[in-house]
């Protein structure tokens, strides 16, 4: 039971990462109608920037800040050079061009940092564990990530529902022309929004640094998981992204932790391990398929999402 | 045959949030008539057409076609029953030729599309009828032209030819004259009055000259409700209709 | 006119393809025959993707899944033959007729299930879902420890056996691959002009109109999806034989991306585009690094993708219609 609780928290923590990536992706799609495969590259850029900057400055906090700035700038650059030429193109063009971006970004990182993964240490202040329940020690760093995730979700909620910018974001996703008529510089708004999505993804990458190895291609893993999140949650819905991310994070983590043992109740240990490993690696996709059968446009469909 | 209506709509309701697009619509369309549905913009005409053709599912009420309840029949199964529509915004296959567009309709009407090897372009059972329907709408000379390159009026007629190729018992025409010049409009009016012999038609149209020239009966839709149904003369003299169309000279002139 | 010119060109290309082994041996570059086989195999896979992507307008980002499943069927059959063990009560085999047929059937079935689920959606959902399902199969094969997990299956018995032909001979194997490519090209050529093909192309142009005309759009899309999956499975089976090795890399999502690039590069929605695209892509992959050598950038040779990525972006942004389309435009002809 205690182990279960610990794994549940691990699942939530994975969900937080996925939410940070999926939130930007789903907003960008919902509002600009563009699918960006290179969003995962921003996650990677954040992780590398944090690792390099922490090494350079000796401070993890400074490393994170620099990572946020770098990934934001890279995102804005990406929007200015490539993405804005894709808004009026069909999805196929968007997929291919952003695939080209991934190839470029991955190769550039290989040239800059080599093929050996970088490792980031958990900062001293967040090192160690706390007793969250009697007898359950849980790493402080992972708790911090969960807290950060909640914070970002709250900030995003406030921005979207309470501010003028958020109003424009909501209006822009349903009616681009109307927003343009209101005298808003749409091009600038898109660039900044893209930058914001990039900062979220970069933040996730930077925070993930100490937990997973920082290497080329790390972003695409997360990207595809984020797609699953978005399909489950509904494209364009930040709320859907949150629910989907937590669901995927928890299902994936618990599946990997407990499915093989669960199967041992029904079959011999060897095949339980084999089938358990296979099933648990497929679990989130199976969840996605089930959602698809019953709610083809996700749990929180956004009516006006441009197709 | 002429006693029972071809299309019978009873207490149809459809709303989008607070907006009632169909508010207890009752409508009967008899065999062999051209029944026009008119109304100001936003009256719910397009929503009504979408429900009749199965694109939208009504919230309440029933639609019977030839005595059969089709309220829940999916869109793609309605043409086989003889209920066929044309689109308000021209909807064709732009990369096909005019002939190929109509051939597609002929092919789907025949119901045999899982043929994998024979060259469809050389099948006389497809090309023959397709050419006939192009001839009916006066497009036989443009048969080999790519559909995207046709003029607007030609595309509208192509659209009509595709609808006819499904050999409908009833045609639902959603603004067939939209965006046409006077000459082309007259051409289509002549065409439709010719077709009247063989097909029942529901005509949704803004062009009042066309409506009053063609319609046997007219229903007026305002704010999702049918406020009047009757012969063109009855409608012209109906006080409620005049009120709804206040200031609309085309009605008074027609 | 155009079709006569195309036929002549296609015939010339076929004659050239038939003479490739002789040409290579004339120049003493026999070892390149493997690359020629690879081009034929990937052309087959790209052509199957073009069926759904180009003619059907379905943007599937998971086509490598069927390529990989086909390859794994062959790999697993070979593994059990070598191992002497059984799977579902059956022993392994290295008989090409049996193994390849099985590869086609299994990948078609997988395409049927995943296609039926994915086709419930459209647009960008479809892209994400096909990608996700392909990734699911990728992880499934990674988790199969019995078949090497990450490392995959080596076919210790070598290539499959075909009565009367020695597939271990590279030239023979090349001709077998070429034969499948030609056969599938003929099949697609017939298909796109048939009633079925017309329906598929009409669905791409205007799905709403097809529904209003009484067409059950999903049936045709799914049928095409399954056919494309089956052909990709065959290509995978051939590639497994070519390499005598099968690994999860076959299903990696970048492989799906590569197949898409081949289709776009050659000319989407054209009969011969995928062949041109596959050849161009694989030749580029081989010769871009060489280009680094000539530019005295040998140390960056392995990073040829840093050029290829932006090149791809430029093609997407500025050379719509791919190589065939661009050539036709330059030639002043507008081929439809």
For A243-296, the pLDDT digits (tens) are 999 999 999 998 888 887 888 777 777 777 777 777 888 888 888 888 888 888
Residues B72 and B179 reside in one and the same domain: yes
Residues B239 and B172 reside in one and the same domain: yes
Q: What is the pLDDT of residues B26-64, one digit of tens each?
A: 999 998 899 999 988 878 888 999 999 988 899 999 999
* CB–CB contact A278 C143 (8 Å): yes
| Domains in chain A, number | 1
Pairing of strands A136-139, B68-69: unpaired
* CB–CB contact C199 B104 (8 Å): yes
Distance (Å, rounded) from C-alpha C332 to C-alpha A135?
78
Alpha-helical regions (H) of chain A: 2-32, 39-57, 60-81, 91-113, 140-162, 164-174, 176-181, 186-208, 218-233, 238-264, 269-294
Domain-embedded: residue A269: no
Residues B71 and B172 reside in one and the same domain: yes
- As a whole number of Å, the CA-based R_g of chain C is 20
- In the Cβ-directed half-sphere of B106, how many Cα atoms lie within 13 Å? 22
ipTM of the complex as predicted: 0.84
User: How many percent of chain C have pLDDT more than 90?
Assistant: 50
Residues B103 and B8 reside in one and the same domain: no
Residues B211 and B106 reside in one and the same domain: no
Q: What is the pLDDT of residues A124-175, one digit of tens each?
A: 777 777 777 777 778 888 888 888 888 888 888 888 777 777 776 666 655 6
By residue range, what is the domain housing residue A57? 9-215
Nearest residue of C to residue A35, measured between CA atoms: C124
Q: Which residues of C touch A104 (CB under 8 A)?
A: 305-306, 309-310, 313
Q: Evaluate whether B87 touches B59 at the Cβ level (below 8 Å).
A: no
Q: Which of B167, B191, B217 is the last residue of a domain?
A: B167
Asked whether the predicted pLDDT for residue B23 surpasses 60, the reply is: yes
Of the candidates B105, B114, B123, the beta carbon closest to that of C213 is on: B105
The phi and psi torsions of C135 (rounded to 5 degrees) equal -65, -35
Q: How far is B75 from chain C (nearest CA, A)?
A: 7
Residues B156 and B99 reside in one and the same domain: yes
Domain-embedded: residue B88: no
Residues B121 and B66 reside in one and the same domain: no
By residue range, what is the domain housing residue B105? 94-167
Any B CB within 8 A of C213 CB: yes
CATH number, residue B209: 3.40.50.300
* Three-state secondary structure string covering A227-248: HHHHHHHCCCCHHHHHHHHHHH
Indicate the pLDDT class of residue C329, thresholds 50, 70 and 90. Answer: low
Residues B55 and B104 reside in one and the same domain: no
Q: What is the pLDDT of residues B73-104, one digit of tens each?
A: 988 889 889 899 888 778 899 999 999 999 99
Of the candidates B75, B85, B117, the beta carbon closest to that of C190 is on: B117
Domain-embedded: residue A268: no
Pairing of strands B217-222, B225-230: antiparallel
Distance (Å, rounded) from C-alpha B85 to C-alpha B51?
11
- Greater confidence (C87 vs B170) lies with B170
Pick the range with the lowest mean pLDDT from A151-160, A180-189, C128-137.
A180-189
Distance (Å, rounded) from C-alpha A153 to C-alpha A26?
14
Domain-embedded: residue B239: yes
Residue B86 DSSP symbol: E
Domain-embedded: residue A248: no
Nearest residue of A to residue C264, measured between CA atoms: A96
Any B CB within 8 A of C216 CB: yes
Q: Which residues of B touch C210 (CB under 8 A)?
A: 76, 108
Residues B187 and B162 reside in one and the same domain: no
Pairing of strands B200-204, B34-38: parallel
The encoded tokens of residue C236 equal 């995978």
Q: Which of B109, B138, B167 is the last residue of a domain?
A: B167
Domain-embedded: residue A290: no
Residues B53 and B76 reside in one and the same domain: yes
Domain-embedded: residue B238: yes
Structural domains of chain C, ranges and CATH numbers in brackets: 2-330 (1.10.3470)
Asked whether the predicted pLDDT for residue A107 surpasses 70, the reply is: yes
| Domains in chain B, number | 2
Asked whether the predicted pLDDT for residue C156 surpasses 90, the reply is: no
Asked whether the predicted pLDDT for residue C2 surpasses 60, the reply is: no
Q: Which of B167, B190, B208 is the last residue of a domain?
A: B167
**Which distant-in-sequence residues (6+ apart) come within 8 Å of C296 by Cβ?**
none
Residues B65 and B98 reside in one and the same domain: no
Asked whether the predicted pLDDT for residue C187 surpasses 90, the reply is: yes
**Looking at chain B, which subunits does it touch, using at least 3 CB pairs closer than 8 Å as the criterion?**
C
Domain-embedded: residue B87: no
Nearest residue of B to residue C220, measured between CA atoms: B114
Asked whether the predicted pLDDT for residue B234 surpasses 60, the reply is: yes
Our measurement of the distance from residue A98's CA atom to the centroid of its chain's CA atoms, rounded to an integer in Å, reads: 17
Distance (Å, rounded) from C-alpha C94 to C-alpha C92?
7
Alpha-helical regions (H) of chain C: 2-26, 33-50, 64-83, 96-118, 123-143, 170-193, 195-205, 207-212, 217-243, 253-266, 273-294, 305-318, 322-330
User: Which pLDDT belongs to residue C334?
Assistant: 42
Domain-embedded: residue A259: no
Distance (Å, rounded) from C-alpha C328 to C-alpha A45?
41
C217-229 average pLDDT score: 95
Nearest residue of C to residue A107, measured between CA atoms: C306
The phi and psi torsions of C225 (rounded to 5 degrees) equal -60, -45
C100-120 average pLDDT score: 95
* CB–CB contact C201 B96 (8 Å): yes
Q: Which residues of C touch A29 (CB under 8 A)?
A: 124
Give Cα separations from A132 to A123, A125, A136, A137, A144 (angstroms).
20, 18, 6, 6, 13
Asked whether the predicted pLDDT for residue C332 surpasses 60, the reply is: no
Residues B212 and B250 reside in one and the same domain: yes
Q: Find which of A30, A37, A84, A104 to mutate to test the C interface (most C CBs within 10 Å of its CB).
A: A104
Distance (Å, rounded) from C-alpha C133 to C-alpha C115?
10
Distance (Å, rounded) from C-alpha C309 to C-alpha B238?
69
């Amino acid at each position: 039971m205690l182990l279960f609780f610990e794994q549940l928290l691990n699942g939530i923590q994975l969900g937080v990462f996925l939410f940070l990536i999926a939130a930007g992706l789903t907003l960008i799609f919902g509002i600009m109608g563009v699918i960006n495969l290179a969003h995962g590259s921003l996650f990677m850029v954040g992780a590398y920037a944090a690792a390099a900057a922490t090494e350079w400055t000796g401070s993890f906090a400074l490393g994170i800040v620099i990572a946020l700035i770098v990934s934001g700038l890279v995102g804005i650059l990406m929007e200015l050079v490539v993405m804005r030429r894709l808004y009026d193109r069909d999805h196929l063009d968007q997929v291919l061009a952003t695939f080209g971006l991934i190839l470029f970004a991955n190769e550039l990182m290989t040239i800059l940092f080599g093929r050996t993964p970088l490792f980031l240490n958990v900062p001293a202040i967040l090192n160690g564990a706390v007793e969250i329940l009697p007898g359950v020690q849980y790493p402080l760093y992972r708790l911090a990530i969960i807290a950060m995730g909640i914070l970002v979700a709250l900030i995003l909620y406030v921005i979207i529902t309470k501010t003028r910018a958020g109003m424009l974001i909501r209006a822009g996703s349903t009616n681009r022309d109307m927003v343009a008529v209101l005298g808003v510089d749409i091009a600038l708004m898109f660039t900044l929004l893209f930058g914001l999505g990039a900062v979220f993804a970069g933040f996730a990458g930077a925070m993930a640094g100490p937990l997973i190895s920082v290497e080329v291609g790390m972003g695409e893993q997360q990207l595809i998981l984020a797609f699953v999140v978005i399909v489950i949650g509904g494209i364009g819905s930040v709320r859907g992204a949150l629910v989907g991310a937590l669901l995927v994070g928890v299902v994936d983590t618990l599946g990997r932790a407990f499915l093989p043992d669960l199967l041992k109740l029904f079959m011999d240990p060897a095949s339980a391990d084999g089938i358990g490993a296979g099933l648990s690696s497929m679990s989130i996709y199976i969840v996605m398929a089930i959602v698809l059968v019953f709610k083809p446009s996700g749990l929180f469909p956004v009516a006006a999402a441009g197709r | 045959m002429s006693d029972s209506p071809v299309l019978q709509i009873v207490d149809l309701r459809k709303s989008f949030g607070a907006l009632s697009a169909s508010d207890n619509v009752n409508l009967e369309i008899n065999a062999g008539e051209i029944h026009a549905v008119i109304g100001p913009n936003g009256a719910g005409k397009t929503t009504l057409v979408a429900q009749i053709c199965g694109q939208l599912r009504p919230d309440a009420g029933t639609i019977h076609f030839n005595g059969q309840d089709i309220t829940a029949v999916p869109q793609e199964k309605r043409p086989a029953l003889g209920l066929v529509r044309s689109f308000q915004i021209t909807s064709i296959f732009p990369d096909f030729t005019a002939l190929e567009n109509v051939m597609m309709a002929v092919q789907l009407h025949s119901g045999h599309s899982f043929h994998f090897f024979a060259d469809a372009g050389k099948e006389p059972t497809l090309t023959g009828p397709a050419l006939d329907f192009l001839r009916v709408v006066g497009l036989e000379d443009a048969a080999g032209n790519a559909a995207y390159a046709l003029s607007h009026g030609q595309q509208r007629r192509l659209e009509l030819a595709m609808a006819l190729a499904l050999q409908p018992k009833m045609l639902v025409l959603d603004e067939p004259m939209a965006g046409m010049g006077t000459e082309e409009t007259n051409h289509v009016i002549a065409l439709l009055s010719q077709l009247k012999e063989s097909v029942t038609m529901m005509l949704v149209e803004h062009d009042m000259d066309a409506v009053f020239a063609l319609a046997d009966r007219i229903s007026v839709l305002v704010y999702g409700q049918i406020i009047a149904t009757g012969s063109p003369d009855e409608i012209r003299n109906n006080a409620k209709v005049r009120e709804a169309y206040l200031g609309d000279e085309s009605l008074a002139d027609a | 006119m155009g079709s006569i010119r195309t036929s002549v060109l296609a015939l010339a290309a076929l004659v050239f393809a038939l003479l490739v082994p002789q040409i290579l041996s004339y120049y003493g570059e026999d070892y390149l025959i493997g690359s020629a086989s690879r081009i034929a195999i990937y052309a087959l896979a790209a052509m199957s993707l073009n069926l759904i992507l180009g003619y059907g307008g379905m943007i599937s980002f998971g086509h490598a899944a069927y390529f990989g499943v086909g390859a794994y069927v062959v790999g697993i059959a070979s593994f059990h033959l070598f191992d002497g063990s059984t799977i579902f009560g059956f022993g392994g085999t290295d008989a090409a007729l049996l193994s390849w047929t099985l590869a086609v059937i299994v990948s078609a079935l997988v395409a049927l299930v995943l296609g039926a689920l994915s086709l419930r959606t459209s647009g960008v959902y479809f892209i994400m879902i096909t990608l996700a399902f392909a990734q699911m199969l990728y992880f499934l094969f990674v988790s199969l420890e019995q078949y090497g997990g990450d490392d995959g299956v080596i076919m210790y018995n070598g290539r499959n056996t075909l009565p009367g032909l020695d597939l271990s001979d590279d030239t023979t194997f090349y001709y077998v691959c070429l034969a499948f490519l030609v056969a599938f090209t003929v099949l697609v050529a017939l298909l796109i002009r048939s009633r079925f093909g017309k329906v598929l192309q009409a669905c791409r142009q205007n799905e709403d109109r097809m529904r209003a005309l009484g067409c059950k759009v999903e049936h045709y899309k799914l049928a095409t999806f399954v056919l494309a999956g089956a052909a990709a499975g065959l290509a995978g089976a051939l590639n497994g034989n070519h390499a005598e090795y099968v690994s999860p890399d076959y299903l990696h999502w970048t492989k799906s991306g590569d197949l898409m690039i081949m289709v776009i590069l050659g000319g989407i929605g054209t009969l011969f585009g995928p062949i041109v695209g596959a050849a161009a892509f694989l030749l580029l992959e081989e010769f871009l690094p060489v280009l680094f050598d000539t530019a005295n950038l040998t140390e960056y040779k392995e990073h040829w993708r840093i050029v290829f990525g932006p090149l791809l972006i430029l093609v997407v942004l500025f050379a719509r219609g791919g190589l065939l389309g661009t050539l036709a435009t330059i030639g002043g002809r507008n081929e439809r």
